[in-house]
Each structure stands twice: as structure tokens, then as C-alpha cells.
Chains A and B, each alone.
Chain A
Amino acid sequence: MSDQDTRTEAQLIDPKGRIPVFLRLTLTVLGISMISELIGIQEIPTGIATIVLLPMLYAVVIGIIITPDVLGKPIGVLQKLISTEEIKLASPMVMLALLPLGVKYGTLVGPNIVEVVRAGPAFLLQEFGNLATIFVALPIALLLGMKREAVGATVSICREPTLGVIGEKYGISSPEGTGILGTYLIGTVFGTIFFSLLATLSVATGLHPLALAMASGMGSGSMMTAASGALAASVPEFSDQVLAFAATSNMLTGVTGLYMVVIVAVPLVNFMYRKLEPVIGRGGSAKEE
């Protein structure tokens, strides 16, 4: 990665001598949150399904566009508000801001604990559904002419634990490492926006809202929130259960996800690569590992 900031998280969140940075960031976030809440929930009926837009969606979009790379350059005054230091501080702040949400999720699972335990087998088995990335995305990557990059890019949804596993096994500057960084980065920037739209549109597929809720727990707190929040708003009659099931599934993926990647996904993606690459791969053949 390009950023060479060596400061630890503990140093980043130390306000000593950096009070203005903290003030600018928190007041900006307060402003964004207030604007987003003022816009409120918007429902857009399309032919097949209603798209539900939540305040959190406006918040992430506004957050991205006020950074220097987007509107900061043309609108100079924004750079006085948000620039490198504030962006750096925002990362550890996400982790802290997620905690109150984590508590709220717990209060949704607790009262529904009996239903959640009854659905235990489904929770465990749907973890294998995450392997579908390999069956769906690997062939597409090969058809597009990717080589070993495809292995990293499609091994899983590529959140932090997978980044660690692939980075350790192949090195982060290897082709596999480049692949996983690509999926990771796109997920980081567009994941919440994408999943909140995908979740509400999926109601039209006929898959049960509780099944969609379980699928929303992918091991990323913010993506799960975007998907399940939008889903809960589209099916108000299941709202609490949807949030409870999504939170449980996400907790489970947080614990099992790493083992799933190491024990099943990495060997499977390599096996599939060996089988598929000679058949549908484009261009010259790639060297193995």
C-alpha cells in the first residue's frame, strides 16, 4: 500500500497537540450526520422492487465526495476542513463508532435468541455460501484475462482477515496480493453503497428476508449494517428479526471466516484455477505459484 504512515492507532487517537484535527473531523461528521438525517429515508419504487435509501448511504457518499481527491481540489475551503490528518484519524474512528452499533445489534439478537438458536444449522451451513465467490467470480476473472491475480481477487470477499492470510502466503506484492488488494479496495470504498442497493433489490428474487439477512453478515460490520439496514426497511414486518439474524451471521463469520479461508477457500480456489485456466484462460499460460 502507498501510505507510509508509521503512527500506531494509539498515537493517532491521542488528541495531544492535535485538538483542531479532532474538532474539524468530529464537527464535519456531526454536520454530515445531521444533513443525512434531515434528508431521511427515501423510497424509490422501481418496476420490480422498491429501492430504500437510508441516511447512512448519504453519509458515506457525502464523506467520500468532500475529501481532497474529489471535491476538495475544486472547492478549496473543503481542504481546510478535511485533509490528510483528518482522513488518517477517520480510520480508527470508524472502529470506535461501530461499537455503539454493536451494542444495538446485541439488543436485537438477545430478545430473539430462541429463534436464532433454532436456526443454528442454517447459520453454520450458510458460511459455505461464501465459497460461491470462487465459482462465480473466478471464471469471469479468467475470461477477462486475469492470471494469478484472479486467485487473490476471488478467494473470498477479501476483508482484513483474508488480506492477512493471502499476504502471508503469497506476499502482498505478488500477483495474488495485487488481486486481493483490488477487491479489498473496491469493497472498502463502494461495498456499503453496493450492498445496501443489492439487499433491497433482492427482496424481489423470492428469497426469504431471513435468508437474505443471514447473507448480509459477511464479516464486515459496515457492509452488514448497510445491507441489513436497507433490507429491514424494505420488509418492516420482519425488521427486528432481519437485524438479529444479520448480526448473528456477521458475528459467526467474524469467528469462522478466517478458518474457512485457510482450510477450504485457498485450496479450492487453487484447484479451480488449475482446472479452469487451461480451458478458459486468455493469453499466454501462467506459471504456477
Chain B
Amino acid sequence: MALDGPKLLNQLKLLVVIGIIILIAQRIGWDRGIIDAIPGMILVVAISFFALIVKGILPNVPMPAFAWASLAALILSMPFMPTADWFLRYTDEVEFLGTTAPILAFAGISVGDKLTTLKKLSWKVVIVAIAVFIGTFYGSAIISHVILTIQGII
């Protein structure tokens, strides 16, 4: 698939705006100086943009851009990589939890048009959904706990 240039450019602009929101929010919540965190934020935005490009080049690989962004940062920060030192030093200035409030603010607003549909659902669906959430969470947690114990990791 060919890359959609205008779309990517708009995405880059919006990533920069999101970066600025994070810088301001983490100044308040985590006492991180805005100027100190700018180089790290530039790296974070650059890798995010890279993930969007990879996703555009490989549309048939079932990995969301989010996973590409993680994978790229993972590779750059592995202990035996020459990049690990400086990459972690700069990106450490961007607080992990500081990136989360804007995401969930957007997420909360984005479900605003689904509330009417939600009200039409029966209370039974709510109970079943809760059972589904609890099932998948504890199903995975119990298996992980058993295997990690057998392996002697925990």
C-alpha cells in the first residue's frame, strides 16, 4: 500500500499537539520541567510517527501502530544495544503515567455518542460483560501464576 502523505502529515501535527498536552500535564502532576523533557518528547513523537509509517507500509501484518511503537522503543532500549543509554536518559524525562491522562480524556469524550445505544441494552448484558471481564482477567492471571511458579520465577 502506498503511503498517504497528507494523512501522515496531519497525524504528525496532531502528535506534536498531544506531545505539548503531555508536557504541560506532567509539569503539573509529576513536576517535570517542560524544557528538560522536550528532547525526550521529540524522540517519543518521532518513534510514534515511525510506527504510523511502518503500519502504512505493512497493512497486512496484524499489529496495530501502538505495538510497532512499543517494539521500536523496546529494541532501542535493550541493555546490549549501544542506543540504550542515551535513549533511556532522554525518554525518562517523559513520565509514563503522564502520557495516560490525555488518552483517557479523548477516550471518555469519544464514547459520548454511544451512551444512547448503551442505555438501550438490557441489564443482563451488563452482568454478562462483567463476567466476561472477570473471566478473562483471572483466567490469564491463574495460568500465569501457576506457570511462573513452576518455572521458579516467582
Contacts and interface: CB of A to CB of B under 8 A. Distances in A.
A binds B: yes
A194 interface: yes
B91 A158 contact: no
A96 interface: yes
Contacts of B142: 129, 207, 211
Contacts of A121: 147, 151
Given A36-B101, A110-B84, A247-B70, A97 B18 contact: yes
B112 A136 contact: no
A61 to B, nearest CB: 7
- DSSP majority for the A interface? helix
A106 B70 contact: yes
A234 interface: no
Nearest to A226: B104
A130 B138 CA distance: 9
Contact of B109 (A29, A98, A101, A113): A29
- DSSP majority for the B interface? helix
Nearest to B137: A215
A140 interface: yes
Interface in A193-217: 194-195, 198-199, 202, 207-208, 210-212, 214-217
Using C-beta atoms within 8 Å of the partner chain, give the interface range for chain A: 35 or more
Contacts of B125: 153, 179, 182-183, 186
Contacts of B136: 129-130, 132-133, 156-157, 215, 218
Interface string A220-235: 0110011101000000
B124 A141 contact: yes
B93 to A, nearest CB: 11
A64 B111 contact: yes
Interface string B133-150: 111111111111101110
18 contacts: A29-B105, A33-B21, A33-B24, A37-B29, A58-B101, A67-B112, A70-B115, A82-B112, A96-B11, A104-B96, A106-B47, A109-B77, A114-B79, A136-B135, A183-B129, A186-B118, A207-B142, A211-B148
Interface of A: 1-3, 9-10, 13-15, 25-26, 28-30, 32-34, 36-38, 40, 54-64, 66-70, 82, 84, 86-88, 90-91, 93-111, 113-115, 118-119, 121-123, 125-137, 140-141, 144-146, 150, 153-154, 156-158, 161, 179, 182-183, 185-189, 191-192, 194-195, 198-199, 202, 207-208, 210-212, 214-218, 221-222, 225-227, 229, 243, 247, 249, 251, 254-255, 258
